[in-house]
């Protein structure tokens, strides 16, 4: 039996900074805006928009953009809030529906404030709005799928197909406690098998030697290095592969049960931020048509707005599932943490 891998991301925050520019040249004494996000938004094994966004934003606004990428992502800020410690960030980029539910359930006081007047927010596709309290504004969306090497295998078409003997050890997934991608895949299995059946399904996946790594970057990197022919990832994978000159046959997409779990990502302002004006400028900047297009391509996702400007070949390569599925905020309220804790308890115990 192949060795199973189970890693949990943990550790201190890392920051990415660079010099500040303004539209009139080098800026002196400008303000800074600290934006927390996940590491692959800044430095992923495929492509990432962080450096481009920083350069473009600083070239126009008299504000230095400082990326903050704690290894445990949103949990870092939840824990600081619980401990009564300063957040030391102004915006968080990368919120999902379940993130907001978990945050609201974990804290007595609000971690985020209402977004307020954000230019371009009316252009966001109506189906992507996921925060009933008006804090998170979507900036992109993706569909969770399998990505597989078509030169090495033909991926199963169903969830049950992942349990077959001939694909034992062939799948790399992510820890739902430390990865948004892993969490979305876990939620898709709950959507498929129900709260009373998903743990049995995961027990069967373990018996079939699934590898579970701590982050999407870990998992995708391992897949790229040939450790297994299938990885839980996104249905836009061929966008990156084509741009990088990769063989598209090695970047095939499989929607299990003809479904993809919809995973819109949002941005929100921390309640404690004293840079709310700059934060709203930044959020409005991210919703501009040309910026939406660049985020979609470099973050290998679908844009959130109707007005996004994307390359002509993007639509040919970015694949949407026959049937998108997801849970609403109300459906997840009071459930997410328990589902993940039960999964962690079972997975680690096995």
> Does 255 share its domain with 297?
no
What is the distance between the alpha carbons of residues 260 and 90, in angstroms, rounded to a whole number?
Answer: 32
Does the residue 1 lie in any domain?
no
Query: Residues 32, 38, 41, CA angle at the centre, nearest 5°?
Result: 80
> Does 236 share its domain with 294?
no
User: 77: closest CA among 181, 175, 69?
Assistant: 69
Looking at the DSSP assignment, which residues form a beta bridge with residue 128? none
Q: Which domain holds residue 126?
A: 13-142+263-319
Q: Which CATH number do you get for residue 178?
A: 3.40.190.10
CB-based burial of residue 58 (10 Å sphere; 0-12 exposed, 13-18 middle, 19+ buried)?
buried
What is the distance between the alpha carbons of residues 180 and 201, in angstroms, rounded to a whole number?
Answer: 20
User: 240: closest CA among 39, 47, 38, 43?
Assistant: 47
Looking at the DSSP assignment, which residues form a beta bridge with residue 230? 148, 171
Does the residue 100 lie in any domain?
yes
Banded pLDDT at 300 (limits 50, 70, 90):
confident
> Does 247 share its domain with 296?
no
pTM for the model stands at 0.78
> Does 156 share its domain with 199?
yes
C-alpha distances in Å from residue 178, one per residue of 14, 28, 335: 16, 38, 17
> Does 196 share its domain with 164?
yes
CB-based burial of residue 200 (10 Å sphere; 0-12 exposed, 13-18 middle, 19+ buried)?
exposed
Residue-level pLDDT at 126: 83
Q: What are phi and psi of 26, to 5 degrees?
A: -60, 135
> Does 338 share its domain with 288?
no
Helix (H) or strand (E) run with residue 67 in it: strand 63-70
C-alpha distances in Å from residue 141, one per residue of 128, 174, 177, 304, 343: 8, 19, 20, 6, 25
> Does 137 share its domain with 148?
no
Compare 26 and 281 and report the one with higher pLDDT: 281
* Residue range 315-347, pLDDT digits in tens: 789 999 999 999 999 999 989 989 999 999 999
Residue-level pLDDT at 46: 65
**Residues whose CB is less than 8 angstroms from the CB of residue 53 and which lie 6 or more positions away in sequence, other chains included:** 65, 286, 291, 294, 295
Does the residue 2 lie in any domain?
no
The DSSP symbol for 174 reads E
Tally of structural domains, the chain: 2
Which two structure tokens, joined as six digits, stand for 243? 């741009």
Does the residue 3 lie in any domain?
no
> Does 212 share its domain with 340?
yes
> Does 121 share its domain with 256?
no
| Contact status, residue 228 vs residue 169, Cβ threshold 8 Å | yes
Q: What are phi and psi of 64, to 5 degrees?
A: -80, 130
* Residue range 5-18, pLDDT digits in tens: 322 333 333 333 33
> Does 149 share its domain with 97?
no
* Residue range 7-66, pLDDT digits in tens: 233 333 333 333 332 233 333 334 899 999 988 899 876 678 999 999 999 999 999 999
| Contact status, residue 69 vs residue 37, Cβ threshold 8 Å | yes
Dump the DSSP string for 12-40: -EEEE----EETTEE-SS-EEEEEE--GG
**Can you list the alpha helix ranges (DSSP code H) found in the chain?**
50-60, 74-82, 97-106, 180-193, 198-207, 216-224, 237-243, 276-286, 289-298, 314-317, 329-332, 336-349
Query: What would the mean pLDDT of 216-222 be, rounded to a whole number?
Result: 94
> Does 196 share its domain with 275?
no
> Does 224 share its domain with 239?
yes
């Amino acid at each position: 039996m192949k060795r199973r891998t189970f890693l949990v991301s943990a550790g201190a925050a890392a920051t990415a900074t660079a010099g500040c520019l303004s539209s009139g040249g080098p800026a002196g004494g400008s303000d800074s805006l600290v934006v927390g996000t996940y590491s692959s938004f800044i430095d992923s094994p495929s492509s990432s928009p962080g450096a481009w966004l920083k350069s473009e934003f600083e070239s126009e606004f008299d504000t230095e953009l400082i990326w903050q990428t704690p290894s445990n992502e949103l949990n870092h800020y939840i824990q600081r809030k619980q401990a009564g410690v300063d957040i030391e960030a102004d915006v968080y980029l990368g919120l999902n529906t379940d993130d907001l539910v978990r945050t609201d359930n974990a804290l007595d006081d609000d971690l985020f404030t209402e977004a307020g007047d954000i230019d371009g927010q009316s252009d966001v596709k109506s189906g992507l709005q996921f925060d009933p309290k008006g804090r998170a504004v979507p900036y992109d969306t993706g569909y969770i799928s399998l990505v597989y090497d078509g030169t090495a295998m033909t991926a199963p078409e169903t969830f049950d197909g992942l349990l077959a003997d001939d694909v034992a050890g062939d799948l790399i997934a992510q820890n739902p406690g430390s990865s948004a991608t892993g969490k979305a895949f876990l939620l898709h299995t709950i959507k498929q098998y129900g709260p009373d059946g998903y743990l049995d399904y995961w027990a069967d996946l373990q018996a079939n030697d699934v590898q579970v790594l701590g982050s999407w970057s870990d998992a995708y990197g391992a897949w790229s290095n040939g450790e297994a022919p299938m990885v839980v990832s996104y249905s836009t994978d061929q966008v990156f592969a084509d741009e990088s000159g990769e063989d598209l046959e090695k970047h095939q997409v499989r929607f299990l049960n003809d479904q993809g779990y919809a995973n819109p990502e949002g941005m929100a302002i921390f309640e404690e931020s004293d840079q709310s004006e700059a934060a709203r400028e930044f959020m409005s900047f991210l919703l501009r048509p040309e910026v939406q297009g660049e985020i979609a391509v470099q973050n290998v996702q679908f844009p959130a707005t109707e007005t996004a400007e994307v390359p002509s070949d993007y639509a040919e390569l970015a694949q949407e599932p026959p049937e998108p599925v997801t849970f609403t905020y109300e459906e997840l309220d009071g459930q997410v943490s328990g589902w993940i804790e039960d999964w962690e308890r079972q997975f680690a115990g096995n």
